[in-house]
Structure 1
Amino acid sequence: MKSAAPPPLNALRTFDAFARHGSMTRAAAELCVTHGAVSRQIAALQTALGVVLVSGPRHALVLTEAGTQLAERLTPAFGAITDAVQATRHGVAREIEISCLGTFALKWLIPRLPDFLEAHPEVRVRVSESYAPVDYRRDRFDGAIRIIEPDEVHPRAQATRFLPQHQGPVGAPELMACLPTLAAVADAPRLRSATFRRAWPAWAVMVGLDLPPAKVEREFAHNHSMVEAAASGMGVAIAPWAFVAPDVKAGRLAAPFGFVERPSWFAFLRPEGRRDPAVDAFRDWLVEQGEISPPPPGRASGRLSEGDGQRA
């Protein structure tokens, strides 16, 4: 029996773009076509398949169950096509895109990256900044670095833990010298990042500190701005050790009360089931770097002593 002809590839590509972005307008921008062209391609695909793929009002279309199932299969397939074309275009060289938390990229990843590039000259690494949850049903990058909480789920991702997360209070050396106890730290102006507003109360629970309401609180969009504000003397920040280690070592920041280990970690997330030697090599290198990354100074275990808690 003669098999049915497959739907047009362009219609499938257009539908994949819409499914990833959840927007006709953003899909049109990616494909460099008009909003109407995207709408017509999706309509043509639905007709060819005899299945409803999107529903709802024109300004708020969403995927149906059939549309979701199709998108989950198309996105990795088009990703594989992109990889194959790129490999052909660049010969043996392979460029991988790594999505990374901005502050982690600046303070931890990029200073170490020359080591990977020297060991793997056949691989080019492009680092892009993002704090968004990873979802490989829509995301096209090759890997991502995120802080993972124990209850987090990232669809279609394979996670590899490579670095523990320690957090503690940091500030300008002149300011921290005037704060002899944890109670004094809690009374100082508090700096926080919009990407993790729970940093202060989470840290207080871990060190057994009864955290009073903040007298002064200043919020910044991202951790790197918060860290710079702390170094300038604007207040005290509860920051991950990985974000502040270079500044503490250089004397720009002081951390006299050390760091505690949180029940979360830095992980590398890659598309589930996609084979890629370059991504494998990058993942293995991250694990190696995590193993040799120095722990917080003074308290290798990452725990405050009982005496420190009593001083608060």
Structure 2
Amino acid sequence: ELAPERVGVVVAPSHPAAQRLRHVPPSALLQETLLHTSSRPQAWPSWAQAHGLDASALKLGTAFEHLYYLLEAAVAGLGPAIAPEPLVAEDLAAGRLIAPWGFAATGGFWVLARPDGPADARVDALADWLVQQL
């Protein structure tokens, strides 16, 4: 295990709802059309449940095949998205995205898997570096 997975809602400051979302509870997101990925359909429902919201009330909009495309759409101001914290850290630091409610653990973990066999110091060094980065 490298680090716990933490996800959160991100939106571009240029999106019309961005400033309003900063000052209201997560339930305000039920009024927004949400960007999502087809590769992780449980992301929004899990987030909603963790925040005490009815997942069936979510309005899912455009689906993207890859998380990278989802994040580019969010940065472009097309709507709120849900993302793992490490993947948006630079966009948050640069002000291209905001995370109105921060990030919360999902119960999942970022892991490094390796085949059974003799220990390899290079893999251990990579794991140590990844832990520091995450």
Interval containing the TM-score (normalised by the shorter chain) = 0.7 to 0.9
Mapping for residues 1-312 of structure 1, pairs under 5 Å: 161-175=1-15, 176-179=18-21, 180-287=24-131, 289-290=132-133, 293=134
* Unmatched runs of 5 consecutive residues or more in structure 1: 1-160, 294-312
CA distance in 2, matches of 1:215, 1:258: 21
1:281–1:190 CA distance, 2 compared to 1 (3 A): same
Runs in 1 of length 4+ with deviation above 6 angstroms? none
Residue by residue, what CA displacement relative to the aligned partner does 1:176-198 show, whole Å, maximum 9, x if unpaired? 21333322212211111122111
TM-score for the superposition, normalised by structure 2: 0.86
Q: Choose between structure 1 and 2 for higher RCO, CA contacts under 8 A separated by at least 6 residues.
A: 2
CA distance in 1, matches of 2:72, 2:49: 25
CA distance in 2, matches of 1:285, 1:232: 31
Indicate the structure with greater helix content. 1
CA distance in 2, matches of 1:268, 1:188: 36
Q: Secondary structure at the match of 1:261?
A: strand
CA distance in 2, matches of 1:248, 1:173: 10
* Unmatched runs of 5 consecutive residues or more in structure 2: none
Residue by residue, what CA displacement relative to the aligned partner does 1:83-117 show, whole Å, maximum 9, x if unpaired? xxxxxxxxxxxxxxxxxxxxxxxxxxxxxxxxxxx
Deviation at 1:234, TM superposition (A): 1.1
Q: Secondary structure at the match of 2:78?
A: coil
Q: Secondary structure at the match of 1:190?
A: strand
Q: Secondary structure at the match of 1:195?
A: coil
Q: Which amino acid aligns with 1:191?
A: L
Q: Secondary structure at the match of 2:88?
A: helix
1:166–1:216 CA distance, 2 compared to 1 (3 A): closer
Percent of residue pairs identical? 39
Q: Secondary structure at the match of 2:14?
A: helix
Residue by residue, what CA displacement relative to the aligned partner does 1:177-225 show, whole Å, maximum 9, x if unpaired? 1333322212211111122111101011111122343445111011111
CA distance in 1, matches of 2:106, 2:33: 23
Deviation at 1:260, TM superposition (A): 1.0
The question of whether the paired residues in 2 share the 8 Å contact of 1:164 and 1:265 is answered with: yes
1:214–1:206 CA distance, 2 compared to 1 (3 A): closer
CA distance in 1, matches of 2:125, 2:27: 46
CA distance in 2, matches of 1:280, 1:222: 29
